[in-house]
Amino acid sequence: MQAYIIRRLITGVFILFILSLVVFLLLRIAPGDPANLRCGLDCPPERRAAIHAALGLDKPYFPISIDFTRASVVAFSGDSQYGSWMVDVVTGDLGVSTFNGQPVLDALKQRLPVTLELLIITMLVTVAAGIPFGIISALFRNSPPDFAVRIVAVLWLAVPSFWIATLVLFIPLELWGYAPPLGRTVDFFDNPWDNLRQFIPPAIVLGLASAAGVMRLTRSSLLEVMRTDYIRTAQSKGLRDTVVVGRHALKNSLIPVVTVIGLQVSALLGGTVIIEQIFALPGLGQYILQSLIVKDFPVVQTMTLYAGVAVVLMNLLVDISYAWLDPRIRYA
C-alpha cells in the first residue's frame, strides 16, 4: 500500500506540472491585457509598459525560449514568469492579486471555509437522499416506490440547478416575503440559525442534483451485486434480507458510488460558480470567476493548481477506500 501511494503521489506531481503549464499558457494567449483593466483602453504605452514591469509581465514566459532569429536558437533566462511563479508556489508564496493587491493566501483563508461548509452540507444531503432511496429502489424493483424514485431522479438530473436555485429564492420571497441572508457571510458559531439559513438552500439545490445520480448508480450497482453467487448463497441459508443487504451486498455495491461521490467532492472543493453567484456566497468559485473576468493571473493560476491538488488527493483517497469496501482488492 505504501509503495502504491508513493507512486500515485509522484504521478500526481507530474499531472499538476502539466496542468500548471497548460493554465499558464492559456491565460497568456487568451485575449485581453491586465494593463488595460488598470488604466483603460486609452492607456499610454509608457504607462502600460510600467504596469507590465510592475506585474512581471515583461519577463519571458519560460526559462528556456526558442528564437530562430538569433545565432543561438535556444535562449536561457534566469528570470521568467513561469519560473518565478513555480518558485513562489514551492516556497509557499501564492502571490498577490494584480487587481486589488490582496495576497492570494489571505483570500484563500477567507473563502475556503465558505466552500467547505457548503461542501459538507451538500454531501450530507447527497448521501442522505441518494444512497437510501437507491437501496429502496433496488430492493423494490419494478414496484411503485421504484418507479417514483427513478422518475424523481430523472427530473432532478434534467432540471438545471441554476433554475431550481432561482425558484428557491423567488417563490418564498413572493409567497411569504422570506429571503435567506445574502451578500454577507454569517459565521456558524456567531449565529447558527442565520448561518444555516444562508447555506442550507444552496446545499439542497446542489445536494439533490448530486443525489439523483448517486441514487441511480446505487440502484444499478446493488441490483448487480444481488445477482452474484455469494448473495444467493447467503439467501439460501435463510439470512434475513436486512442482513444480506447490509452486511454482504451494500459495501461491495458502494464502490462505484464512492467513486462518483469522490468526483463530486473534488468538483465542489473548487467552488460552484453559478450557485455561489446566485446565493451571493463569497466562496472559491465566485473568487475564480471574478479573477478570470479581470485576468488576474496569480489568482487564476494558483486557484487552478489548488483545484488540481484537490482532485489528485481525492482520487487517491477514493482508491484507498476501495480496499476497505472490498477486502479482496489489493494494491501492488
CA distances from 86 to 21, 60, 97, 159, 216 (A): 10, 14, 16, 41, 42
**pLDDT at 197 (0 to 100):** 84
272-279 average pLDDT score:
83
Mean pLDDT of the chain: 81
Check whether 180 has a pLDDT greater than 80.
no
Check whether 268 has a pLDDT greater than 80.
yes
**pLDDT at 133 (0 to 100):** 92
Cβ atoms of 95 and 302 closer than 8 Å = yes
**pLDDT at 274 (0 to 100):** 82
**pLDDT at 332 (0 to 100):** 59
**pLDDT at 320 (0 to 100):** 81
Confidence tier at 328 by pLDDT (50, 70, 90)? low
Higher-confidence residue: 199 or 95?
199
Confidence tier at 276 by pLDDT (50, 70, 90)? confident
CB contact set of 150 (below 8 Å; sequence gap of 6+): 137, 216, 219
**pLDDT at 121 (0 to 100):** 92
Higher-confidence residue: 183 or 67?
183
**pLDDT at 215 (0 to 100):** 92
Higher-confidence residue: 34 or 277?
277
Check whether 222 has a pLDDT greater than 70.
yes
Check whether 111 has a pLDDT greater than 90.
no
The domains found in the chain, sorted by start residue, are 2-90 (no CATH), 104-325 (1.10.3720.10)
**pLDDT at 148 (0 to 100):** 92
What's the CA gap between 296 and 308, in Å, rounded? 18
Higher-confidence residue: 134 or 54?
134
CA distances from 26 to 1, 13, 32, 38, 61 (A): 37, 20, 12, 21, 12
222-237 average pLDDT score:
82
**pLDDT at 126 (0 to 100):** 92
85-91 average pLDDT score:
83
Higher-confidence residue: 228 or 79?
228
Confidence tier at 91 by pLDDT (50, 70, 90)? confident
Q: What percent of the chain has pLDDT over 70?
A: 90
**pLDDT at 122 (0 to 100):** 92
Confidence tier at 330 by pLDDT (50, 70, 90)? low
Confidence tier at 67 by pLDDT (50, 70, 90)? low
Least confident window among 40-54, 64-78, 219-233, 275-289: 64-78
Secondary structure string (H, E, C) spanning the chain: CHHHHHHHHHHHHHHHHHHHHHHHHHHHHCCCCHHHHHHCCCCCHHHHHHHHHHHCCCCCCCCEEECCCCCCCEEECCCCHHHHHHHHHHCCCCCECCCCCCEHHHHHHHHHHHHHHHHHHHHHHHHHHHHHHHHHHHHCCCCHHHHHHHHHHHHHHHCCHHHHHHHHHHHHHHHHCCCCCCCCCCCCCCCHHHHHHHHHHHHHHHHHHHHHHHHHHHHHHHHHHHCCHHHHHHHHCCCCHHHHHHHHHHHHHHHHHHHHHHHHHHHHHCCCHHHHHHCCCCCHHHHHHHHHHCCCHHHHHHHHHHHHHHHHHHHHHHHHHHHHHCCCCCCC
